[in-house]
Structure 1
Amino acid sequence: MNRLIRTVAALAWACLLVVACAGPGGQQQTSTAGGGPLEKVTYLTSFGNFGRDAYAWVAKEKGFFREAGLDVDIKPGGGTGDNISKVEAGAAMFTPVDLTGLLLARGNGGAGSVVVVAGIQQRTMAALISLEGNGITTPKDLEGKTLADSPGSVVRNLFPTYAKLAGVDATKVTWVNGAPANLIGLLAGGTVAGIGQFVVGEPTVESVAKGRQAVVLPYSEVMSDLYGNVLITTTKTAQEQPDLAKRFIAALIKGLVHSIDHPDETGRILQKHVPASAPAPAAAECTLMGAFVRPEGSGDVVGTIDTKRVARTIELLQDADAMPSGLTPDQLISADLTPKP
C-alpha cells in the first residue's frame, strides 16, 4: 500500500510540473526556464486582432515573453483614444497607439500620464482606401466624394492636414460616421466612396469586396516624418519598473521582427490564439507592414524613435492648427527605455 501511495504521489507531482512548465503560448505558465516566477503583464493590441497586431501573439507563442520572465495577457484594443484611457486607468500596462493621435491628445490637454517607450512602425500607416470604379485614383479625386470613419480616428482627424499638403479642398469632402468594424462593409456595399483605414488593411478590404481592387492613398506620401504606432506605458511604470519595461520591450520587438520575417507562420499563430481570424489576410498584412517597421535603406534598429522627426511632426501639426504650441518630444518620450540605433 505504501508503494502505491508513493507512486500516485509521484505521478501527481509530475503532472503539476508539466502544467507549471507549459510550453510557449500555454495558458498555465508560472515560471521561467530558470525556475523563477513570471511577472504578469496585461497588453492591449492597437485594435482588435488583425495581422498587423499578431506580433504580440508571436512573442507569446515563441516563448519570447516567458524567456523575459513575463506572463503576458493579450487583450484586443479599441484604438488609440480608448487604449490611452485604459493604460492611464491601470487596465493594461502596455499598448501600441498611433503617435500622431497621441500627440494630438497630449497637445490638447489629455494623455498626461503616459510615455512612449518604443516605435512599432517607422512610418505612418494611415491611409484612405477606396475601390476601383469609385472614381478615386489621386488625392484630388476625393473632392465631391463621401468618406466614412469613426469621429475619433487618427485618419479622419489628420485629414485636414493631409488635404492641405496634397492640394485637396477639404471643404469639398463629406465625412460620415462609421464604426471601425463596419467601415469595410460600408465601402464594399457602395454606401461611401472611401474609408479611413491603415495601408495594411488592403488585403482585408479586397477579400470583402470580392474581386474589386483596392485603391490606397497613404498619408505617408505627403507626410513622411510621421510615425505609425508606438508603444506606450505609464510614466509611473517607466520610472518605477524600468527593468520590467525593458524586458517587455525587447521581447515584443523580437516578436515584431519575427512576424514580418515569417508572415505565413504568423498568420497560423494568430489563428491558433484567435480562431476567428484568417491566416492568409493576416500574413498579407504582416508582409505589407514590413516596409513600415523596417523601411528600406533606413538602417534603423527596429523600435527606435528619432526625436528630431517627432519634433518635425509636432511642428507640422502646430502649423496646421491641429494642436497648440508648447509640446516637445522630451515631454512624451522615455529616452532611457527606447531601443537605441
Structure 2
Amino acid sequence: MRRLTRTVAAAALATALTLVSACTGSDAEEAKGGEGGALEKVTYLTSFGNFGRDSYAWVAKEKGYFKDAGFDVEIKPGQGTGGVIQTIVGGQAQFGPIDLTGGLLQFGNGQAKDFVAVAAIQQRTMAAIATTEDKQIATPKDLEGKTLADAPGSVVRNLFPTYARMAGIDHTKVTWVNGAPQTLMGTLAGGKVDGIGQFVVGQPTIESVTKKKAVMLPYSNVMQDLYGNVLITSAQIAKEKPEMVKRFSGALLKGLEYALANPQEAAEILKKNVDATITAAAAAELQLMAGYVRSGNTGTVLGTLDSGRVAKTIAILQGAGALKENINPEQIIDFDLAPKA
C-alpha cells in the first residue's frame, strides 16, 4: 500500500513539474527575439531630429525587423554629427547615423575618436545650405554678408569652409549662429536668419513650414564623391560584438529599403511616433532621398562602402587644408562589418 502511495505521489509531482515547465517556457518565449534569445536593449539616435529622412528607423521597429534580429530598440532624436558621435562614444547610445565627411573632419582634427562606420545610408552627401527665394540667394557667392544658422556639430557647418573654398567664396564673410534641429526651420521662417544648414531632402518640409519656395545650395554641386550619412557604433562594440553589429545594421537597412519603396506608409509610421510630423513633407523627403541612397548605381547592395571613394574624400579635405592629421579609410570604417558589394 505504501508503495502504491509513493508511486501516485511521484506521478503527481512529475505532472506538476511538467505543467510548471510548460508555463515557464511559454512566458520565456514572449521575451525572446527572432533567433530564440532574449531581446537586447539598444538605443538608436537619428541623424538630426525627427524628419522623414530618418523615418526608416521607425519603420524597422514598426515592421518588427529589429525584433526579428533580436533587439528592443529605443529611438531618440540626434543632434547632428558631432552630437551623435559624442553620445555613442560616451555609451548613452549604441548606434546612429552621421555624415561621413563630418566624421572624417571630427576624427582628422582630433575632436572625436573611438567610433567606426559600419554601413552607408546615402551614397552621396545631402549636405546643403537652405534658404527661401525672398532672400535673393541663388548662388554660393550670394552667401557672403549673410547670416546662417545650424547646430555647432553639424556637418553642414563644419564642412562649410571647405565648401566655400571650392565654390570660390570667402567663408569669413558669412556669419553662423547656433540653432537646434527642431527650431532651425522656424528660425528661417521668422526671418531671423538668411539661411540654415540642412539636407537637400528637407526642401518639402522647409516649404511647409515657411510657406515660401525653398532654394537649396547642395554641397555635392562642388564636392564630388562624398558619401552622405553612414551608420556608426563605438569602436569597442564593433570589436567585441561584430555579429550583433551586423544583425542591427541588416535590420536597419531593411527598414530603409522598405521606407524608400513605401514613402507614404513610412511617413505615417513616423507620424504615429512623432506627433509633430508633417506627413506629406516626410513622404516627399523619402522620395527625394531615394536617389542619394542608390545614387544611380543599379544593382549596388544597400549600405556598401568603398575604400577608394573614402580615400578620395580624405584627399579633398587634405587638399583644402581641412584636416590636421593624416588619416586613412580603415581608421574610421570597419570594412569587415559593412555590407559587401
Query: Normalization by structure 1: what TM-score?
Result: 0.88
**Worse overlay, 250-259 or 73-82:** 73-82
- Give the percent of matched residue pairs that are identical in Structure 1 and Structure 2: 60
* Distance 1:115-1:209 versus aligned 2 partners, 3 A rule: same
- Aligned mates of 1:236, 1:266 — CA distance in 2: 32
Equivalent residue for 2:130?
A: 129
Confirm or deny: 8 A CA contact 2:98 2:229 kept in the other structure.
yes
Partner of 2:14: none
Amino acid at match of 1:207: S
Q: Output one character per residue of 1:51-100: Cα deviation in whole Å (capped at 9) or x when no partner.
A: 11111111111111111122222222222111111111111111111111
What's the secondary structure of 2:327's corresponding residue?
coil
Matches within 5 A, 1:118-157: 118-157=119-158
Contact 2:79/2:181, CA 8 A, preserved across alignment? no
Counterpart Cα distance in 2 of 1:144 and 1:94: 38
What residue is the counterpart of 2:6 in the other structure?
none
- Give yes or no for contact 2:117–2:333 (8 Å, CA) kept in 1: yes
Cα distance between partner residues in 2 of 1:134 and 1:47: 25
For 1:290, the equivalent position in structure 2 comes to 290
Deviation at 1:335, TM superposition (A): 1.0
Distance apart, 1:34 and its partner CA: 5.7
Q: Kindly tell me: are residues 311 and 276 of structure 1, through their superposed partners in 2, closer, same or farther at Cα, counting changes over 3 Å? A: same
Q: Where does structure 1 lack aligned partners over 5 or more consecutive residues?
A: 1-8, 22-29
Look up the SS of the partner of 1:317 in the other structure: helix
Aligned to 1:272, the other structure's residue is in SS state helix
SS at match of 2:134: coil
Matched residue of 1:335: which SS? coil
Q: CA RMSD in A?
A: 2.2
Q: CA deviation at 1:241?
A: 0.9
**8 Å contact kept, 2:120–2:230:** yes
Which residue pairs with 1:266 in the alignment? 266
- State whether residues 49 and 182 of structure 2, in contact with CA within 8 Å, keep that contact through their aligned partners in structure 1: no
Could you tell me how far apart the structure 1 residues matched to 2:312 and 2:36 are? 47
Q: Which moved further from structure 2: 316-325 or 59-68?
A: 316-325
Structure 1 residues 333 and 142 mapped into 2: Cα distance closer, same or farther (>3 Å)? same
- Structure 2 runs not aligned, ≥5 long: 1-18
**What is the rounded CA distance, in whole Å, between the counterparts of 1:137 and 1:94 in structure 2?**
37
Q: 1:206–1:319: structure 2 CA closer, same or farther, 3 Å change rule?
A: same
TM-score (norm 2): 0.88
The verdict on how the C-alpha distance between 1:241 and 1:134 changes in structure 2, with shifts beyond 3 A counting, is: same
CA contact (8 A) 2:79 2:180 kept: no
Q: 2-side partners of 1:95 and 1:175: how far apart?
A: 26
Task: Note the 1:52-201 alignment, pairs <5 A.
Answer: 52-201=53-202
| One-letter identity of the residue aligned with 2:240 | E
The whole-number CA distance in structure 2 between the counterparts of 1:146 and 1:329 is 34
2:277 match: 277
Offset at residue 33 of structure 1 (A): 4.5
Residue 237 of structure 2 corresponds to residue 237 of structure 1: yes
2: CA distance, partners of 1:174 / 1:62: 44
What is the distance in 2 between the residues matched to 1:242 and 1:87? 16
Separation (CA, whole Å) in 2 of partners of 1:93 and 1:148 = 28
Amino acid at match of 2:277: S
Partner of 1:27: none
